[in-house]
Amino acid sequence: MESALGGIRIIDLTGMGPACISAMMLGDMGAEVVRVDPPPGVGSGGVGQGLPATGDELEQLRMTAHMASCRNKKSMMLNMKMEPGREVFKNLAQTADVVIEGFRPGVMDRMGVGYQSLSKVNERIIFCSVSGYGQDGPYRNFVGHDPDYSAMGGVMGLVGMSAVEPPVFAQNIMADMTAVFNTVIGILLALSARQKTGRGQMVDISMLDSAVFLSVGIPGLSEYFYTGTAPRRGETLLSGNQPFASVYRTKDDKYLTVCPIEARFWMNLCRTLGREDLIPHQHAVGAKKEEVIRELRDIFVTRTRDEWFQVLTAADVPAGKVLDAHEVFRDPQVLHRKMVLEMDDPQVGKVKQIGFPIKFSDTPGAVRTMPALPGQHTREILSGLGYAQDDVDALLQAGVVR
């Protein structure tokens, strides 16, 4: 079966950050991804340090096999701090369509393998840099992680039930994951543009930019430029403290989200609960709002979470079960949509991984190869670039590759 990105070669210099997941997604859709890691002791490959060495070979294989972000990738180890290593990289870049890197701004340029240098040997190269604050601006050299970018982008400041309580970390790493999708979109757009112009280009992805972009979909924040009023934590539509958009504890000490935001869904809820008297009070404020919330809390604690989910969804009321990881990956809808993949690895047996979030009718995603150990394909890749066996041995002996 055809793949969407068959024939596209991507060089992955991303470590274990969000750009690594972007490279995985492109690999899932058929691109050939060559992951380039530094040899041990040379330094990290971009954001994050990857899996720790365990000293147990079989355990290392098991850990690697479950690293979904490294699937559909070949792996070579290359010391790009050495001039011969940089020459190998340039030779590899001549055969590639895309380079994705997650180093600090300027690192690739200082090594002589930035966009300007690579575009001279391959004018069709698309060079995507993923960093915290972007390739320019006063913060470009600052270090950070998702909570920092989410905080700086205005996202974290709105997560919480009340303005008097401190903001909280969002566990779905919002800035990072938005950067993942922006990276994939940016690369696909650059590939599309190249079909028209014949040239590659630089793609600059910032996790702060990605967090700020989330303002488009955050209730209250996207209207800031119009109203001039900044929304406050605990006062937005989805803060979790509105009767029509909240989390309720159930009889079995589990939790249920109930979000009948539209009036028709609110009426469905009130009628299902036998409380039509609450219909006029969907948007109550002050003491009346607290009274409505108390009434709903008292009602929802009378049945289990799963019972309420069945009742409410049958009544056309937006609701969701608050699931833990065990429950998510056993959920019938998640399984039906193949968001859990189970594969057979010849060395470690059955392996489960996250599935593909984008469904295609003609060119579906696929796991063609399991995650590779670092350096597993070094000889194969160098041979494909035309290096003779003696030359490969010399590079290995000199510590340029592993």
Segment 246-259 mean pLDDT: 98
- Domain 9-214+358-398 shares a fold with domain 241-328: no
Segment 186-215 mean pLDDT: 97
Segment 111-118 mean pLDDT: 98
Please determine, for residue 49, whether its predicted confidence score (pLDDT) is greater than 50.
Answer: no
Q: So where are the chain's domains?
A: 9-214+358-398, 241-328
- Residue 71 half-sphere exposure, CB side, CA atoms within 13 Å? 25
Pick the range with the lowest mean pLDDT from 14-18, 102-106, 123-127, 161-165: 161-165
Q: What is the pLDDT of residue 64?
A: 87
Q: What is the pLDDT of residue 58?
A: 79
* φ, ψ at 149 (rounded to 5°): -70, -40
pLDDT band at 51 (very low <50, low <70, confident <90, very high): low
Q: What is the pLDDT of residue 217?
A: 85
Q: What is the pLDDT of residue 52?
A: 54
Burial 366-402 (b: 16+ CB within 10 A, else e): bbeebbbebbbbbbebbeeeebeeeebeebbeeebbb
Rounded to 10 degrees, what is the CA torsion of 9, 14, 15, 17?
-120
Report the C-alpha gap between 153 and 166 in whole angstroms.
16
Higher pLDDT, 337 or 63: 337
Q: What is the pLDDT of residue 221?
A: 76
Please determine, for residue 343, whether its predicted confidence score (pLDDT) is greater than 60.
Answer: yes
pLDDT tens-digit map of 216-248: 888 777 788 888 988 888 888 888 899 999 999
Q: What is the pLDDT of residue 63?
A: 87
> Pick from 41, 42, 50: which is nearest to 12 by CA?
50
Q: What is the pLDDT of residue 54?
A: 55
For the domain bounded by 241-328, which CATH number is listed? 3.30.1540.10
> What does pLDDT average to over the chain?
93
Q: What is the pLDDT of residue 53?
A: 55
Q: Encode 209-238 in three state secondary structure.
A: HHHHHHHHHCCCCCCHHHHCCCCCCCCCCC
| 9-214+358-398 is a CATH 3.40.50.2300 domain | no
Report the percentage of the chain scoring pLDDT > 90. 79
Segment 340-349 mean pLDDT: 90
Segment 127-153 mean pLDDT: 96
Which H helix or E strand runs over 11?
strand 9-13
Segment 301-316 mean pLDDT: 98
